[in-house]
């Protein structure tokens, strides 16, 4: 299912680029869009994880530098028969974590400096087991592609805006005349499109599944429940500065708020619901 979702996202990206290219620049725009779609599909598959890590200035760490996390991950991967992922640390005090990569053989797990300071050993194990659950369930590629797709929509919308100012990309007169109105429309509907694509690809069920996988592997659902409650509380005190297109990667949604724009990207289920599924009540 996750392979199907990933393929569907790449097809959607290709068709979207071709449509926009033809509408904005006619035949020349269509050719440019085709070249871009090839580049995007290649880059999305092989480099979407690296882009996500670079966006948050994630730094790779060795076992000697972070033995606490390495020992946990080594134990959990051995238990599940998974390859050892690369470990990264994000230089932020906001407590959070995410997993990315195109498959278990090319996976990375990133934790923030804040989460290492906040959680005890059992709670950290629960969080890392959750992230490895994403790897085991093979939804990390879908997550990475969705993030890149949302970013591509933003870029194309900006290209359309500038094209409207300068008369398109060499298309005929009709295409130049309609480019202004079309690009303005893109700017107006950009956020809902990006949010809808992410929510279609990344359902809330993936977080429930990763929670269940992590709790099963550790045999300690209470530790993960405690971690989620702490992360929910402290991430509100120290909010994560994250891009909406990659917010779905994190174990706790970095974009918080009771509605409006941020609510469009609410790909995470409420923390009390996740805790209830783990231990039968909505708080520890």
Q: Is 207 annotated as a binding residue?
A: yes
Q: Is 71 annotated as a binding residue?
A: no
Q: Is 283 annotated as a binding residue?
A: no
Buried residues in 59-74 as b, exposed as e (16+ CB within 10 A): eebeeeebeebbebbe
Could you confirm whether 131 is annotated as catalytic?
Answer: yes
Question: Which residue out of 122, 123, 131, 209 is catalytically annotated?
Answer: 131
| Binding-site residue set | 130, 134, 207
Residues marked as catalytic: 131
Which residue ranges are tagged as binding site for Zn(2+)?
130, 134, 207
């Amino acid at each position: 299912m996750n392979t199907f979702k990933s393929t569907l996202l790449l097809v959607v990206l290709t068709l979207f680029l071709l449509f926009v290219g033809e509408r904005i620049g006619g035949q020349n725009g269509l050719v440019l869009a085709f070249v871009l779609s090839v580049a995007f599909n290649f880059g999305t598959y092989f480099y979407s994880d690296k882009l996500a890590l670079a966006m948050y200035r994630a730094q790779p760490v060795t076992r000697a530098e972070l033995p606490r996390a390495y020992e946990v991950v080594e134990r959990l991967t051995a238990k599940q028969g998974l390859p050892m992922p690369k470990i990264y640390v994000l230089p932020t005090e906001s407590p959070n974590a995410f997993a990315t990569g195109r498959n278990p053989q090319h996976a990375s797990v990133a934790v923030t400096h804040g989460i290492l300071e906040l959680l005890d050993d059992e709670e950290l194990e629960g969080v890392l087991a959750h992230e490895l659950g994403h790897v085991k369930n093979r939804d990390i590629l879908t997550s990475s592609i969705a993030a890149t797709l949302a970013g591509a929509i933003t870029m194309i919308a900006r290209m359309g805006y500038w094209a409207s100012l300068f008369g398109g990309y060499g298309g005929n007169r009709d295409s130049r005349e309609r480019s202004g109105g079309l690009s303005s429309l893109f700017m107006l509907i950009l956020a809902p499109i990006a949010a809808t694509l992410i929510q279609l690809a990344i359902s809330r069920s993936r977080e429930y599944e990763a929670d269940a996988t992590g709790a099963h592997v550790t045999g300690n659902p209470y530790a993960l429940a405690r971690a989620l409650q702490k992360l929910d509380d402290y991430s509100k005190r120290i909010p994560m500065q994250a891009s909406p297109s990659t917010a779905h990667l994190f174990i706790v949604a970095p974009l918080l708020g009771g509605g409006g724009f941020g609510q469009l990207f609410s790909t995470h289920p409420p923390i009390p619901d996740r805790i209830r599924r783990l231990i039968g009540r909505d708080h520890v």
